[in-house]
Structure 1
Amino acid sequence: MDPPQPWYKIDWTTKDWDGRTIPTRHGTDDFGFVHACNDHSMCAEAPMTAPYHGTPDKWTSSTRAEYYGVALIDGEPEIKITTVAEFGHVGPNGAEAPDGKVIGTITSYCQGMTYCPYWING
């Protein structure tokens, strides 16, 4: 069994088209990879970070942005994906990363459903 990871461990980073570096931290039940995977079945890097390959679609605060993407089947749009990033240094429940970098990915989910279909991670 793998040892537990600290919440602030960066699993991967992505840059959006404006050059912002967005870490996806291992996280907790409240944010990051653990939250997206456990609460929304978004458990793979590719679909979680695909929306970052663009610019923010909506700023919900001065430091938080939503990015929208689409999962395709046979080249046709099938499921809309939203990934949310926090560009501040304090995350949910006051979490502050010891590395001084932004919090990064808060969540990623398939719009209109609680859990993404299994194939989204494949």
Structure 2
Amino acid sequence: MNSDVAIGDLSGREGLAGAMGWRIGAAAALVVFMAVLGAVSASAEAESAPGEIVRFSVIGELPREPFAADEFRQVGVTDDAVAQITRGVVPSRSLTLAAPKADPNNPYQIVATWNDNTGKALSMRWGSPSWGWLKVSNKHNLTTAAARTTTKHPESRVVESPSAIRYRTPVHRVECAVGRIGCRIVETRTVRVIANPIRLTDGKAKGVITAYCEGVTWCPNWVKNAVNA
């Protein structure tokens, strides 16, 4: 008798738990839906009204006079980012490389490889406090992506020796007026990259020795946060 009651009671509890679980699941789904809807609404609200100003930074040469947003494509800004600028949204960065997870005991470990504006193979290696990623990041507050974009869109490229190529290019803070053909430069820093193209035993270039903002040791954050870096 007691056994029958215990079994019936257990079944009832399981049914109640199932119902409660369904309700909790439905409520969780509703919360997720509302969060997504809120994010979409927030994204729409983030678009600026005509005449308002969108501010961001870009690596590479740009016209000195007011220019249209299409000019950003010339320095590697993606079509999606240009479309965001046109809508009055601060463009998202699409080229950013994550901080490397490298063996600190192997300074020659490769972080990234790419070709410069002439097709010369380059790389970023883990390095040490005197060269490579550790120096670029920890001493000068720049990133692999910023160094890469500088070498792909340099204002000047000079072969100083077989083991050193010097790249220089401006990084601009710009303002764009929404709904108008009117982007303009408001501040500029020049980034310099020194890279060694000589290949090592792994077949890759020794790569970036240093990258920094001329005139200062620590680059402002807006330089490394450029939309094409």
Fold match, TM over 0.5? yes
Deviation readout 1:33-78 (Å, 9 max, x if unpaired)? 1011122111x23322122114662222122110111111115261
Contact 2:123 2:207 in 1 (8 A): yes
- SS of match in other structure, 1:83: strand
1:114 pairs with 2:196: no
Q: CA deviation at 1:98?
A: 4.5
Runs of 4+ in 1 over 3 A off after TM superposition: 2-5
1:86 pairs with 2:86: no
Taking the aligned partners of 1:57 and 1:15, their CA distance within structure 2 comes to 13
Q: Which amino acid aligns with 1:109?
A: Y
TM-score (norm 2): 0.45
Which one of the candidate residues 122, 139, 147 is aligned to 1:48? 147
Taking the aligned partners of 1:11 and 1:3, their CA distance within structure 2 comes to 8
What value does the CA root-mean-square deviation take over the aligned residues?
2.1
1:103 pairs with 2:206: yes
1:22 pairs with 2:125: no
- SS of match in other structure, 1:71: strand
Change (3 A) 1:18 1:3: closer
Q: Which amino acid aligns with 2:121?
A: T
Gap runs ≥5 in structure 1:
90-96
Contact 2:103 2:109 in 1 (8 A): no
Number of residue pairs aligned between Structure 1 and Structure 2: 113
Contact 1:8 1:98 in 2 (8 A): no
- SS of match in other structure, 2:222: helix
Q: CA deviation at 1:103?
A: 0.3
Q: Give identity over the alignment, percent.
A: 24
Q: Which protein is richer in helix relative to its size?
A: 2
Q: Which protein is richer in strand relative to its size?
A: 1
- SS of match in other structure, 2:112: strand
**Structure exhibiting the larger radius of gyration computed from Cα positions:** 2
TM-score (norm 1): 0.79
Contact 1:85 1:106 in 2 (8 A): yes
Q: CA deviation at 1:3?
A: 6.7
